[in-house]
Amino acid sequence: MTLSTTARGIGLELPRHPSRLVPTVVAVIVGVVVLAAAAGLPIPWSDLGSLPGQIAHYLTLMFADPNWEKLPQALFETWRSISMAWIGAIGCVIVSIPLGMLAANNVGPVWVRLPLRGLFAVIRAVPEVIIALLLLTVTGLTPFTGALALAIAGIGTQAKWVYETVESVQEGASEAVKAAGGNTAQVTRWALWPAAAPTLLSFALYRFEINIRTSAVLGLVGAGGIGSMLANYTNFREWDTVGMLLIVVVIATMLMDAVSGAIRRRIMRGPRVKAIVEPKKERADVAGTR
C-alpha cells in the first residue's frame, strides 16, 4: 500500500509534485544560446590541442630567466600606478558619497533619486578603458588621464553601494531624530551617517583595491604606469622583461590587497578592548598575604 493510497483513505490530499517544466525550458534556452554564441565565433577548434604547449613555451620564456635590469624603472612605474589608483579612489569617494546619499529612498526626493540612479547606471555601463580613450583627446597621454578615468568610472558602482548601505540602516536612530524635530539633513547627519560610515569607508578602500588592478589595464591604452611599460615590452617581444614586470605587478597587487584588507577588517570590527591583566608579582603578593 502506497503513501498516496493511505492518505486518500483517511481523507488527506497530498501536495502535487512541483513542475519541472519551467526550469527545463530555461536550461534548454540557455544551452542553445551558449551553443549559438560558440558557433558564431571564429574559433580554430583544431588548434586547442596545441594551446597548453604554447602556454608552457611562453611561460618558460617569461619566467625561466627574468630580466631584473629594468627593476628600478618597473618599481617607479608601479608607484605611479598606485598613485593613480589612490587619486582615482579619492575623487570617486568624494563625489559618490554625497550623490549616493541623495539617491537613497530615505534621504532624497523622488525627482532627485531617479535621475541620479539613471546617471549611475549609465556610468556603470561604460568600461574604464572606454572612458580613458575618450579622455585621451582632452588630457593627453598622462597618468592624470588614468586617475580621472578611474574616478569617473568608479562613481557608478560606488554611489550604488552608498545608497544601498544608507537604505539598509535601521530606522531606530532616524525615528528618534525625527521625533526630536529634526529635518532630513539632520536625520542624515546624526542618524544615517554614523551608522553607515564604517561600511562606506570599507567600500572606499575596496574601491582602491579595484583601481590598483584596473590601473594596469589603463596603462595598456597609454594612460601611464606599469601597464604602459608592460605593453611596450610585450610589443617588442622581450619576454624576459615582461616576466619581471608581471612578477612586480603580482607582488605589488598582493601587498596592497593585504594592507587594504587589514584596514577594512579593522574598520568593520571596531576598536578592540584590551583585557586588564595583573602582573604576576602583584598576584603572588596578594596570594602571600592570604
Q: What is the pLDDT, as a whole number, of residue 235?
A: 86
Closest CA to 161 of 114, 97, 115, 109: 97
Residue with cell 576598536: 271
Average pLDDT in the 240-266 region? 88
Find the angle CA(230)-CA(233)-CA(237) to the nearest 5 degrees: 130
230 contacts 220 by C-beta, under 8 angstroms: yes
Residue 117 C-beta-side C-alpha neighbours within 13 Å: 14
| Per-residue confidence band for 106, with pLDDT thresholds at 50, 70 and 90 | confident
Measured between alpha carbons, how far is 32 from 26 in angstroms, rounded to an integer?
10
For residue 15, the model assigns a pLDDT of 64
227 and 220 in contact (C-beta within 8 Å)?
yes
| % residues pLDDT > 90 (the chain) | 15
Model confidence, pTM: 0.74
Contacts of 80 (CB under 8 A, 6+ apart): 143, 224, 225, 226
pLDDT in tens, 213-232: 888 888 777 777 888 888 88
What is the mean pLDDT of the segment spanning 16-41? 82
Spatial separation of the C-alpha atoms in residues 18 and 54, rounded to whole Å: 50
Please say if the pLDDT value at position 174 is more than 90.
no
CA distance linking residue 283 with residue 290, whole number of Å: 11
d(CA 287, CA 137): 80
- What grid cell was written down for 172? 531606530
Q: Mean pLDDT, to the nearest integer, of 182-200?
A: 80
Helices (H), 168-238: 172-179, 184-187, 193-219, 226-235
pLDDT for 13 equals: 60
Please return the burial class of 55, using the count of CB atoms within 10 Å of its CB with bins 0-12, 13-18 and 19+: exposed
Average pLDDT over residues 204-208: 88
Q: Say what the pLDDT of residue 290 is.
A: 54
Is the model's pLDDT at 288 over the cut of 70? no
Plot region of 183 (φ>0 → left; ψ -120 to 50 → alpha; else → beta): beta
Identify the three-state secondary structure at position 64: coil
* Of 3-12, 27-36, 141-150, 151-160, the least confident: 3-12
Non-local CB neighbours of 170 within 8 Å, separated by 6+ positions: 195
Q: Write down the pLDDT at residue 177.
A: 76
Candidates 3.40.190.170, 1.10.3720.10, 1.10.287.1080, 1.10.8.80; CATH matching 73-268: 1.10.3720.10
Sign of the dihedral through C-alpha 124, 129, 130, 134 = positive
d(CA 107, CA 174): 11
For the chain, the average pLDDT equals 81
Q: What is the dihedral of CA 276, 277, 283, 286, to 10 degrees?
A: 10
More confident position, 68 or 46: 68
Q: How many whole angstroms separate alpha carbon 83 and alpha carbon 78?
A: 9
Q: Say if residue 270's pLDDT is above 80.
A: no
Helix axes 193-219, 71-102, angle to 10 degrees: 140
pLDDT at 160: 92
Mean pLDDT of 261-266: 83
Residue 285 makes CB contacts below 8 A (sequence gap 6+) with: none
Backbone CA torsion sign across 105, 107, 108, 110: positive
Average pLDDT of the segment spanning 172-195: 77
Instruction: Kindly tell me if the per-residue pLDDT of 268 is higher than 70.
Output: yes
Least confident piece of the model among 64-73, 192-201, 259-268, 269-278: 269-278
Helix, strand and coil in the chain, % to nearest 5? 80, 0, 20
Q: How much is the pLDDT for 232? A: 87
Q: Which of 152-156, 165-169, 191-195 holds the top average pLDDT?
A: 152-156
